[in-house]
Amino acid sequence: MILMQGKGVSKGVVKGPIYFYQRGAVTISTAKAADLEKEKQRLEEAKEKSMEQLGALADKAREEAGDESAMLFETHAMFVEDEDFVDCMNNALDEEQCTAERAVEIAGEQFAAMLAAMDDAYMQARAADIKDVARRILNNLMGMVEGGIDSEEPVILAADDLAPSETLQLDKSRILGFITQGGSGNSHTAILARTMGIPAICGLGDSLREELNGRLAYIDGETGKVAIDPDDITLAAFQAKYEKQQEMKVLMETMKGKADVTLDGREMMVYCNIGSPEDVAAVLTNDGQGIGLFRSEFLYLAASDYPTEEEQFKAYKEVAAAMDGKRVVIRTLDIGADKQVGYFELQKEENPALGVRAIRICLNRPEVFRTQLRALYRASAYGKVAIMFPMITSVWEVRECKRACQKVMAELDAEGIPYNKETEIGIMIETPASVLVAGELAKEVDFFSVGTNDLTQYTLACDRQANDLGKFFDPHHPAVLRALKMATDAAHKAGIWIGICGELGADLSLLETFLAIGIDELSVSPSSVLPLRSEIRKSIAKTCTLEKLEC
């Protein structure tokens, strides 16, 4: 038996084969091809395989989300067969006498540059599509696995850690759980696991070795334990916990359709955090009242170039319409720090968590901000959209954001494009600065949402991504909870609502403290909605105390 101990970051017990994430390094040789005819045949086979994949993806998208969602894959399939693009690849083979990989790379770069240089905005936007198509053909030429998982059966996915862009590409239907060498409870792997409602363990270190690939493992996402080929006693313990977990799932189903209200009548809004339109299904399945945090930056992380207004509008509209009148709070892009995007070409910073990130990028790049705001306001015509600005530290920043919104609304009015003129504007409370000026900030906006991960980081001077800080990174610290109380008092004095969208919102041990503080909304991973509802319905708000705010 092999036992490993890490940090549990998403609860649940599961068993399955360990599968190490396949991360392909794309190195394309510029050397002459040994057999040109063979390279042409390889290219044809890769194109055919790409067409098959795109056809299957289009069918799946149409079945799950309608014709509009299938259009992207159908467009990509058209590019694979586009006569000019095919000629460009064939010409590169003949003229350069190169490999099929190099021919695809040349054609992709040339076509993308040509489209980007056109005056027509629609054609410019297709540059990103041609890059994706070229990448797909290259993957098939090089034997790289789409989605990082080459397994017919579901697996426990193992990795050193996963970047945000990598988590977006995963075939989630094949994942039973996550185990990683590094990472933290705030890593994107952990966030994805909680959204999916599956177990995850990080911080296993060097004990998680690639030689374990294929071995049957049992993992407990609550305790952080991993057992490979467990003995009878360990196996019985895992099995008992698994059975209890299944019983709890059945019990939680009885919470669906019930109100999020305490025994003495105090209402609490329970919303969900999501990262993509695909996550809405989990929100609806778990009966979330709304979406308290749509991390729009994942649209940027998934793209090879700036997402266009139309691309963003479709994503926001899809979520707003699917939620059918329930509030959808969409955070403007929060790029920077641990979420780096190549095409933003951000300068390397010694301390990126304190650098140019989030709203600072938006205010420094008004055209990028304007594109997103136009997409957000257009989507507001199809549901109850609210716009939220991250990393706010000053009143002037909020006023600049509101001015940008006013300009966009004036443009849409002039163009006759419908939108909701009463769209709510909110900000994230993530820094000590925003807490200390919360009274002034509250007069400028319709709501606050506290990002407890960053608020803890900046209040305690602890890197939220570091896995070795242990007890020093303490979201329960009285300073963090007092900051939460200060922001809540300021919000209520100004007559606006306040919520929590950080992971702390799902911490059941703090529910009574949140009720005592006066928090109006908790936005959590979809899988946390029903357990949270169950606890709310057992609570008596007027008896809750602030004792945890004391040292």
Chain segment 455-506, per-residue pLDDT in tens: 999 999 988 767 667 789 899 999 999 999 999 999 999 999 999 998 899 9
pLDDT for 344 equals 85
Q: What's the pLDDT band for 324 if we cut at 50, 70, 90?
A: very high
51's CB contacts (< 8 A; 6+ apart) are: 77, 80, 81
As a whole number, mean pLDDT of residues 354-364 equals 92
Question: Residue 85 and residue 360: Cα distance in Å, rounded?
Answer: 39
As a whole number, mean pLDDT of residues 163-172 equals 72
Chain segment 386-423, per-residue pLDDT in tens: 999 999 999 999 999 999 999 999 999 999 999 999 99
Beta bridge partners, 21, equal: none
pLDDT at 15 over 90: yes
Grouping H, G, I as helix, E, B as strand and the rest as coil, residue 477 is: coil
Q: Are 452 and 474 in contact (CB under 8 A)?
A: no
Give the global pTM: 0.72
Q: What's the pLDDT band for 25 if we cut at 50, 70, 90?
A: low
Q: What's the pLDDT band for 222 if we cut at 50, 70, 90?
A: very high
Nearest residue to 72 via CA among 314, 297, 274: 314
Question: Residue 194 and residue 528: Cα distance in Å, rounded?
Answer: 8
* CA distances to 252, 377, 398, 437, 545 from 425, in Å: 34, 11, 10, 17, 31
Residue found under tokens 């001015």: 403
pLDDT for 335 equals 83
Report angle CA 172, 177, 181 to the nearest 5 degrees.
115
Establish whether 501 is a catalytic residue: yes
- Cβ neighbourhood burial of 95 (10 Å; 0-12, 13-18, 19+): exposed
pLDDT at 333 over 90: yes
Alpha carbon 506 to its chain centroid, in Å, reads 17
Q: In what order do the strands lie in the sheet with 200-202?
A: 2-5, 225-228, 216-220, 13-20, 155-159, 175-180, 200-202, 7-10
Q: Can you read off the two tokens belonging to residue 511?
A: 């529910």
Chain segment 75-103, per-residue pLDDT in tens: 889 999 999 899 999 999 999 999 999 99
- Most confident range, picked from 57-66, 138-147, 302-311: 302-311
Question: Residue 273 and residue 290: Cα distance in Å, rounded?
Answer: 9
As a whole number, mean pLDDT of residues 121-149 equals 76
pLDDT for 226 equals 97
pLDDT for 483 equals 97
Chain segment 284-297, per-residue pLDDT in tens: 999 999 999 999 98
Considering 76, 88, 188, 362, which one is annotated as catalytic?
188
Considering 362, 405, 501, 544, which one is annotated as catalytic?
501
